[in-house]
Amino acid sequence: MPDWSYHPLKKLLLDKINPKTSREFLHKSMSTIASTPGGRGLIGFLGHMKPPREFEKEIYHTRFPSPIGLSGHIDPNLSGIKAFQELGFGFVEIGPIVLNEPKNQIKPRRENSHILFSNHQEKVPLKLAIKKLTSLNIRIPVFAKIDAQVKRNEWDIIVQHLTPFVDAFVGTSEQIISYVEESLICLERSFYVSFSADEMNEKKSEIGTLIQHTSIGGIVIEAPRRIEGSYWHEVANANERLAKLVKQVKDLHPELTIITSGGVETPEEACALVGVGADLLMLTDGYVKAGPGLPKRIHERLLYEKAQPIKNPNWYWSFLFGLSILIGGIIALYIAFTSIVLPYDESFIGLSKADIFQINPLILSFMSHDRIALAGTMISGGILYIQLARHGIKYNMHWAKIAFHSAAIVGFLGIFLFIGFGYFDWLHGLFWLFLLPIYYFSFREGKRVTGTPSSIHGKNDRAWQYGLYGQLMFITLGFLILAGGIVISTIGASKVFVPTDLSFLCMSPQMLDSISDNLIPLIAHDRAGFGSALVSVGLLVLMLSLWGFRKGEQWVWNTLAVGALPAFIAGIGTHIYIGYTTFIHLLPVYFLVILYVFGLVLSYPFLKRK
């Protein structure tokens, strides 16, 4: 559930149903996907949310992949815990834990733009917590928050039963001090004392006493809240007030581990807390408002604050690979507009160009339209490869390398479609042989490309919101081009023609076979090759749109704007050129153009404006 799908769904559906229903729908759906074979890979493909290695840290013998965690407020039923570790979180809080399930659980409710949480937060019974923790393969640290109303004897039971499955416990100062001082067993886990913002102003003097206990790992400071009856929500300036509290405490106790809970809705707000000394951050309702991509965007903003990207000196072979495909496409376009068929084509079918023209001139026009479309697609692919090399691989972007080589390998495999009907195009074969050594060196130079992108994006402003819809347009565009390429390749390798093709030719397959047994295999070779090229370009557009959208990345907008034009102009122009303008046949292309235009318009403020 990346942001580009979450926000349209949130606006159309989730905001119109009660918070608990929408919460469970999302969490159970994501966990179901994460539990299915290949599900984790799909989540990673769609979101690319794995935390960068730069953010790994160890606190009290617990390794955190990221300082960004998720508060127990968001998932009290533990229905989404399996999916959260795939969304870039470095740890997760569960709770508040109680010994026995309460008779009534008060649900959160929505009021205007706020999610209102009950003052009596939904509880997690110990039995449910153990069931979830034992049945799921959880690979990130787990904090267990114990309910403030749990009695001393119940604390013993809860801690003893959860110790094998969690990495730390969170509770009130009274609970933890009592347990730590009276416990007769060796404490194997760290304990974190939770304070509300109001309590911090009153109990700052207690912190010095607390940190003298070796089992107390640090404190959790909750963002300031506004109480409305029996519900609460964070105040408007929660981040600013929380940052001041963290700074005050950190100035007094520099070595104290401080975890914040809430007060973060944007990457900028997370940077503010990290900047004043917060060691770990837990997201609350800001995560609901901002979307599942918030951890990833925080990581990218924190990286931007740390250092600028390092250039990779080895990117020229990748650039040359894209340039070769671009030039190959231009040559193919020239041939398609002039001779159409080459001497070895004529030798294969046993007919000259003049012979074919005398039999039915529309056959040459039809072949020309496939070859022009292939050439336009190659030119588009070459532009996309060049841009990924110049702006992605050159700047050590791992995602750009994956996009580049995934599409290239699929393109090389497409040569097998050319010979599916027993016809090997020597020109294509020589072109691939020329490309192979270039690609080999390109692949070698890409092995050291392991960098993670950074971003200046700080606020969830209107430009970002429009950009999400623009990103959705381009992701849909890439997916449909990919699907179209698969369909065209399948048709080219099987029945070759669609009904509108035969209507344009005014001939049946049997009639074409009667002209030459090898005429349909030649046409099939063109069609399958065009489909293979579309698959590669579809993958490039899809992965560039999935992984490259960041504030101010002008090259991404330029690449999509310029890179798609040759394919669209060739695809529509060739049909007009030969008179094959059947509306239903061109309808998919018209739809793709609409997606392309809307994508450019909506993403312009986010990608192009500095």
Considering the domain architecture, whether residues 555 and 437 belong to the same structural domain is answered as yes
Residue 440 pLDDT: 93
Looking at the chain, the whole-number percentage of residues with pLDDT higher than 90 is: 39
- Rounded mean pLDDT, 313-329: 92
Q: Mean pLDDT of all residues in the chain?
A: 87
Give the CA dihedral 537, 30, 549, 408, nearest 10 degrees: -30
Instruction: Indicate the residue among 279, 306, 333 that finishes a domain.
Output: 306
Whether residues 364 and 285 fall in one domain = no
pLDDT at res. 184 = 53
- pLDDT tens-digit readout, 408-454: 999 888 777 766 666 777 777 788 889 999 999 999 988 888 888 88
For residue 456, is it within any domain?
no
The answer to whether residue 118 sits within a structural domain is: yes
Residue 128 and residue 410: Cα distance in Å, rounded? 46
Tell me: pLDDT of 220 over 80: yes
**Residues 293, 324 share a domain:** no
The sheet with strand 114-118 has its strands ordered as 109-111, 114-118, 231-234, 225-228
Q: How confident is the model over 117-134, as a mean pLDDT?
A: 87
Q: Which of 248, 283, 306 is the last residue of a domain?
A: 306
Are residues 382 and 248 part of one domain? no
At 91, which helix (H) or strand (E)?
A: strand 91-98
Question: 312 pLDDT exceeds 80?
Answer: no
Angle at 578 between CA 572 and CA 579, to 5 degrees: 85
pTM score > 0.75 for this model? yes
pLDDT band at 309 (very low <50, low <70, confident <90, very high): low
469 and 564 housed in the same domain: yes
Residue scoring higher pLDDT (307 or 132): 132
Rounded average pLDDT over 214-241? 86
Domain boundary, last residue among 282, 306, 330: 306
Number of domains observed in the structure of the chain: 2
Average pLDDT of the residues in 226-244? 87
Answer yes or no: do 122 and 101 share one domain: yes
Higher per-residue pLDDT: 107 or 295: 295
Give me the pLDDT at residue 282, please.
95
Identify whether 311 is part of a domain.
no
Residues 266 and 325 in one domain: no
Residues 285 and 390 in one domain: no
Asked, for residue 453, whether it belongs to a domain, the answer is no
33 with 146, same domain? yes
Residues 223 and 109 grouped into a single domain: yes
Q: Which residue has the higher pLDDT, 233 or 219?
A: 219
Q: What is the pLDDT of residues 246-261, one digit of tens each?
A: 999 898 888 889 999 9
**What CATH number corresponds to the domain at position 110?**
3.20.20.70
Looking at the structure, do residues 93 and 182 belong to the same domain, yes or no? yes
What pLDDT sits at residue 10? 77
pLDDT at 80: 85
pLDDT (mean) for 137-143: 90
According to the model, what pLDDT value does residue 63 have?
92
Q: Which domain holds residue 108?
A: 3-306
CA–CA distance, 449 with 447 (Å, rounded to integer)? 6
pLDDT value of residue 451: 85
For residue 218, list its beta bridge partners: 192, 257
- Give pLDDT, residue 421: 60
Residues 37 and 86 in one domain: yes
